[in-house]
A = this chain, B = another copy of it.
Amino acid sequence: MNSYKAPLNDLSFIFNHLLDQEQLAQLSGLEDLSVDLYESILDEAGKFATNILDPINASGDREGLKINQGEVTTPKGFKEAYQQFVQAGWNNISLDPEFGGQGLPYILSTAVNEIMMGANKSFVMCSGLTIGAIEAISHAASDELKQKYLPKLVSGEWGGTMNLTEPGAGSDVGALKTKAIEQADGSYRIHGQKIFITFGEHDFTDNIIHLVLARLPDAPEGVRGISLFLVPKFLVNEDGSLGERNDVRCVSIEHKLGIHASPTCVMAYGDDEGAIGYLVGEKNKGLAAMFVMMNMARLTVGMEGVALTERSYQAALDYARERVQGVDVETAKPVAIIEHADVRRMLLTMKAQVEAMRSLSLFIAQAQDMSFRHADMNVRKHQQGLVDLLIPVFKAWATETALKTTTLGIQVHGGLGFIEETGVAQYLRDAVISVIYEGTTGIQAADLVGRKIVKDQGKNLAVLIGLMKETLAETQASAQLTDIAKEFAAAIQVLEDNSQLIAAQFMQSTKQALSISVPYLMLVGIVVGAWQHAKSASKAEELLASPSENTAFLTAKIETARFYHRVILSEIYGLAHTVRSAGDVITEFKDSYFGE
C-alpha cells in the first residue's frame, strides 16, 4: 500500500493564485497572515497526515471498534494519535481565540481538513463533531455554559457530539420524541434514545459533551418545538473537575460498510433517573442553534469526497505506473498500464475531478471567511449568499462524484482492487456515507432549488454566473484556451437555461421540479467545476509567461482543465436533456406500478 501525500503543489497553486490573498489579508484578525505562513502550516499538516494518521488508517479499518459494557475502545494507535493531534492544535485552527482557538481562517482549516481526512477519515470525525458542538455552544449558550465547557472542548481535552437522529426522526428531525423535563434548579432531565451518534462514546478523552435535541412537555409539534441541551457524560464540578457519571450511555455501536474506526453509537439518555442536561439558547429554538453550523458541517462532508478521491487517485496512479501488463497498441511493447488509453482516462477523470472539487471548496471557505470577517456588511452579505448557494451543490456533487472516482480507483487496480489488503476498497466504503449524512443528495437538491434559487429569486445564482462570465472573458482572451472557452461558454448557457426552466417548473409544480432536482444539482456542480478549471487554466497560462515558474505543473493544470471541459463537462448535456424532457413522468408514476 502506498503512503498518503498531501496535495501540497495543488494547494499552493490555489492559495497563491486562485484565492484573493490581498482581500484576505485585510480581513479582521487575518492582518498579519501570509501565504507563506499558510503554506508552512499545510506542509506540517501533510507531515502529520503521512506520518501519524495514514499508517493507522487501514489497520483501524481492519481492527474496528470494540464495545464492552458501554465503553468503546478505538483501534490500536488511535488514542495516542489523538493526543498528538490536539497537542499540535490541528483540532482548533479556526476556532475562537477567546476560548483557546487559533482564530485562523476557514481556507486554512478546510485545506488541513482535506489533508487529515485523506489520510484517515474515521479518525478526523471526532474533532469534526466536536467543532460542531463548539459552534452550537458558542452561538447559543449562556456565558456560564461557554466558560465552563468551551475551553476544554476547544483544547481537545473533551470531545463533543451532535444528537439529532432518532429511529423515527432521520431527515425529518421535527419528528423527534426525546423528552426534557425542567427541574427546580433550572437544569433538565433528558429521556430518550438517539441513533447514528458519531463518536458518541470513545476512549480519546476523559469527558464527552453531548448536544441533544429534545422536546419540552408543552412544546409545539414539529420543528418549532425542539430545544437544545448540553448533556455531559460526566457532570462537571464548579472547579472544572469531573463529578458523577451522568445517566447517558452508549447502548451499542453499528456495524457499518465503512468508517470502521469511527464509532456510530446508539445513545440512551435517562434510562434511570434521567440524564442531567442544560438548556442551550432559548426554549423551542434548538433547531436554529443547530442550523448555525450546518453550512460548515456540509462543507466538511463535501471535503470527505475531495479527500477520498485524492487518496484513491494517489493509490491508482502509483499502481498504474508500476504495473506492467499488456502491450502498447502502437509500439507493441510491454508497458505500464498508465499507457493504456482507458486507464489514462480513468486516472485523468480522478485527477480532474479532485482538482475541481478542491478549488471550489477553498472558494467557498474564502467566501465564508469574508462573510464572517469583512469590514463592509454588504460584502459580508454578498459572500454569505454565495456560501448559501454553493454549499448544497458542493456537498452533493463532491460526495456523489467520490462514489464514481473511488470506484475508478478500484478498477484501475483490476482484481487486486477487490482485495481488502490492497486498501482502495476502503476508500469507496468510507465514501458511501458522505452522500447520506448531513442531508442526503435529494435533500441538498431540494434545498438548492427551493430555498437557494426560487426563494432567493435567483439573485445569488446571478452573482455566481456573473463571476463565471468574468472567468470566461479571461479564458476567451487567450489564444491557447479556445477549446476551453468554447465549452465553458456553452456550459454557462446551459446552466442559465436550465435554472430558468426548473425555477419556472417549481412555481407550477413543486413536486415535478423536485423530481429532477438531483440531475439539476449535478449539472450545476459540474459547471461550477468547469469554472474552477477555467480559472486555473487562465492563471496557469498567465504564469507560464514568466520563466521562473514550474512549467510542467502549470502545463498539467491547463491540460487537466482541457480534459475536464472536453470530457467531464459533457455530462451536462445528458442532465439538461433530463431536466427538459422528464416532465411529469416521475410524479405521475403510480405507487402500484412499482410492483408487489
Contacts and interface: CB of A to CB of B under 8 A. Distances in A.
B581 A577 contact: no
Interface in A566-589: 566-567, 570-578, 581-583, 585-589
Contact of A442 (B327, B343, B516): B343
Contacts of A594: 317, 338, 347, 351, 556
A172 B339 CA distance: 14
B407 A403 contact: yes
A157 B512 CA distance: 57
Contact of A419 (B256, B519, B567): B256
A527 to B, nearest CB: 13
A559 to B, nearest CB: 6
Contacts of A321: 591
Nearest to A434: B418
The contact size tier of chain A is 35 or more
A451 interface: no
B344 A589 contact: yes
Contact of A414 (B171, B345, B407): B171
B570 A574 contact: yes
Question: How many copies of this protein are present in the complex?
Answer: 2
Interface string A313-325: 0000100010001
Nearest to A426: B257
A410 B258 CA distance: 13
Nearest to A588: B559
Contact of A341 (B172, B562, B586): B586
A411 B440 CA distance: 8
Contact of A560 (B343, B593, B596): B593
B587 A344 contact: yes
A582 B556 contact: no
Given A410-B432, A441-B411, A487-B581, A595 B556 contact: yes
A357 interface: no
A446 B339 CA distance: 14
Contacts of A595: 9, 317, 351, 556
A148 interface: no
Contact of A586 (B345, B433, B556, B593): B345
Contacts of A511: 329-330, 341
A12 to B, nearest CB: 13
A253 to B, nearest CB: 11
Interface string A53-78: 00000000000000000000000000
B419 A348 contact: no
Nearest to A316: B594
A421 B435 CA distance: 19
B256 A418 contact: yes
Interface string A326-352: 110110000000111111111110010
A515 interface: yes
A372 interface: no
A224 interface: no
Contacts of A556: 590, 592-595
A170 B414 CA distance: 8
A414 B169 CA distance: 11
Contacts of A9: 595-596
Given A566-B581, A570-B581, A578-B567, A342 B517 contact: yes
Given A437-B415, A595-B9, A514 B420 contact: no
A510 interface: yes
A552 interface: yes
A428 interface: yes
B418 A432 contact: yes
A196 interface: yes
A40 B105 CA distance: 69
Given A255-B421, A257-B425, A417-B436, 10 more contacts: A255-B420, A256-B420, A341-B515, A345-B518, A345-B586, A414-B440, A552-B592, A556-B593, A572-B574, A573-B573
Interface of A: 5, 9, 165, 170-172, 175, 195-196, 254-258, 317, 321, 325-327, 329-330, 338-348, 351, 403, 407, 410-411, 414-415, 417-421, 425, 428-429, 432-433, 435-437, 440-442, 445-446, 483, 487, 510-512, 514-519, 552, 555-556, 559-560, 562-563, 566-567, 570-578, 581-583, 585-596
